[in-house]
């Protein structure tokens, strides 16, 4: 928890880097919290501090860069963007479900904007799922809850490995 707070408080001028590096630690913390007992007061204190830091103007912009990156990957979902979009979407879901205290956010537009961006990302994932390469079961991180439907949304679960590979490596083959 301390490492996440330190990253968000850092003086790194790139707000996107602060948020991205702190979000990269959320799955580990999520796993840790599910397998060990952290005093409720300590966890709540972390969540409030985390929320305050995320809603700070520079980190707030970093959050929206992260949402934008997730959206960009989702747009590439029929090619090589589906799996990275799923990973980022799952991090955003645990951020929302486990770590942010929306009542502590000082600016109302943050929560509304977050919900709108998530809805847009989900819509894009649904739209591209008709041709998205399926994510192999072994490639889904163990920390991802079953409720994260996007990992299993690709409709062509029986896509041949050659077709899957050609979609995932389209950049490589595009120039040949």
* Average pLDDT of the residues in 130-155: 93
CA distance 15 to 154: 33
- In this predicted structure, what is the pLDDT of residue 171? 59
What count of other Cβ atoms lies within 10 Å of the Cβ of residue 19?
26
CA distance 26 to 46: 12
Residues near 68 by beta carbon (within 8 Å), at least 6 away in sequence: none
What is this structure's pTM?
A: 0.88
Helix (H, G, I), strand (E, B) or coil at 43: helix
* Average pLDDT of the residues in 65-83: 94
Q: DSSP of 104-136, one letter per residue?
A: G-S-HHHHHHHHHHHHHHHHHHHHHTTTPPPPP
List, for residues 76-133, the tens digit of each pLDDT value. Answer: 998 889 999 999 999 999 999 999 999 888 777 888 899 999 999 999 999 999 989 8
List, for residues 11-38, the tens digit of each pLDDT value. Answer: 877 767 899 999 999 999 999 998 888 8
Q: How confident is the model at residue 39 (pLDDT cuts 50, 70, 90)?
A: confident
């Amino acid at each position: 928890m301390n490492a996440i707070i330190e990253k968000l408080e850092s003086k790194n001028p790139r707000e996107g880097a602060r948020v991205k590096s702190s979000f990269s630690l959320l799955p580990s913390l999520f796993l840790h919290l599910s397998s060990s007992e952290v005093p409720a007061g300590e966890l709540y204190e972390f969540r409030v501090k985390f929320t305050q830091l995320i809603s700070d103007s520079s980190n707030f912009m970093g959050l929206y860069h992260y949402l934008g990156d997730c959206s960009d990957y989702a747009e590439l979902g029929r090619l090589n963007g589906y799996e990275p979009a799923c990973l980022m979407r799952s991090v955003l879901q645990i951020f929302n479900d486990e770590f942010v205290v929306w009542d502590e956010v000082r600016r109302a537009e943050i929560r509304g904007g977050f919900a709108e961006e998530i809805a847009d990302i989900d819509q894009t994932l649904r739209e591209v799922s008709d041709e998205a390469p399926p994510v192999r079961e072994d490639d889904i991180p163990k920390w991802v809850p079953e409720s994260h439907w996007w990992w299993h949304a690709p409709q062509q679960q029986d896509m041949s490995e050659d077709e899957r590979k050609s979609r995932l490596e389209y950049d490589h083959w595009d120039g040949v």
